[in-house]
């Protein structure tokens, strides 16, 4: 197997990985801590952490916003090492850069066939699902968050403003709740959260064959375009 290197990476490299190898093709909002991934010197993607989209996440866990972060993107092209191994390499570095951090959370979206195999392989706690929601699908099949469509109708990212169609121009789509996982970083918090944890949801069915989603590149690692070998 090739050599694996995981290290902090520039935002432009993380953006390239997300736009080309993550199913959302969109960077998360807000500041992020980005880690690049290399196999034998070849850039194969990035893992991103941030505060996430929900302002209620920290209070729900009884913590303040500096004690919680979200694993927001795992964006990989074809790669040899398991996704769980790649993510695990980022965690010690994340803890060093954020000494107040007590828990990392992430969500697996069943809309895209994900059940959280990465987090199960890493022994994260399963905390059930978030509330069902809805979004809007445009004529090209792209989903737009309801807050954007019913709000300003404009998405601003990287200095660009993109208009989002109004609800009357789109198809409303009901979304299932997302699987919610948490990795407590200290024993006291783990003891508290384990009391409300639940059994893991089952694996994803793929082409009539059940396989751990960790081997599928969850939550999104389908290569669609070659990248530069180095983006630092």
Q: Are 3 and 224 in contact (CB under 8 A)?
A: no
pTM score, whole prediction: 0.73
> What architecture is the 4-132+177-216 domain classified under in CATH?
3-Layer(aba) Sandwich (3.40)
Helices (H), the chain: 11-21, 57-60, 83-97, 117-121, 146-149, 187-194
pLDDT tens track, the chain, 232 positions: 789 999 999 999 999 999 999 988 888 878 889 999 999 999 999 999 998 666 678 888 899 989 999 999 999 999 999 999 999 999 999 999 999 999 999 988 887 778 888 899 999 999 998 777 777 777 666 666 666 665 555 655 555 666 666 666 777 777 777 899 999 999 999 999 999 999 999 875 544 433 333 333 444 333 333 333 333 3
**How far is the C-alpha of 115 from the C-alpha of 178, rounded, in Å?**
9
Domain spans of the chain, in order of start? 4-132+177-216, 133-175
The Cα angle at residue 11 between residues 9 and 16, in degrees rounded to 5? 95
**How far is the C-alpha of 149 from the C-alpha of 135, rounded, in Å?**
8
**How far is the C-alpha of 51 from the C-alpha of 213, rounded, in Å?**
24
């Amino acid at each position: 197997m090739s050599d694996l290197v995981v290290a902090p990476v520039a935002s432009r490299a993380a953006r390239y990985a997300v736009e080309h190898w993550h199913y959302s093709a969109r960077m998360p909002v807000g500041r992020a801590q980005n880690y690049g991934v290399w196999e034998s010197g070849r850039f194969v993607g990035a893992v991103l952490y941030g505060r996430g989209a929900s302002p209620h996440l920290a209070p729900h866990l009884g913590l303040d916003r500096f004690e919680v972060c979200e694993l927001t993107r795992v964006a990989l092209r074809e790669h040899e090492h398991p996704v769980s191994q790649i993510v695990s390499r980022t965690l010690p570095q994340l803890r060093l850069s954020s000494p107040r951090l007590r828990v990392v959370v992430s969500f697996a979206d069943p809309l895209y066939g994900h059940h959280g195999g990465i987090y199960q392989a890493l022994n994260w706690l399963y905390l059930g699902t978030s509330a069902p929601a809805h979004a809007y699908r445009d004529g090209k099949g792209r989903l737009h968050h309801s807050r954007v469509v019913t709000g300003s109708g404009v998405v601003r990212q990287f200095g660009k403003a993109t208009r989002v169609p109004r609800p009357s121009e789109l198809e409303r789509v009901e979304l299932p709740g997302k699987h919610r996982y948490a990795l407590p970083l200290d024993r006291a918090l783990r003891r508290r959260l384990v009391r409300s944890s639940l059994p893991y949801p089952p694996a994803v069915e793929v082409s009539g064959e059940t396989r751990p989603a960790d081997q599928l590149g969850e939550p999104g690692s389908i290569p669609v375009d070659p990248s530069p070998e180095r983006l630092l």
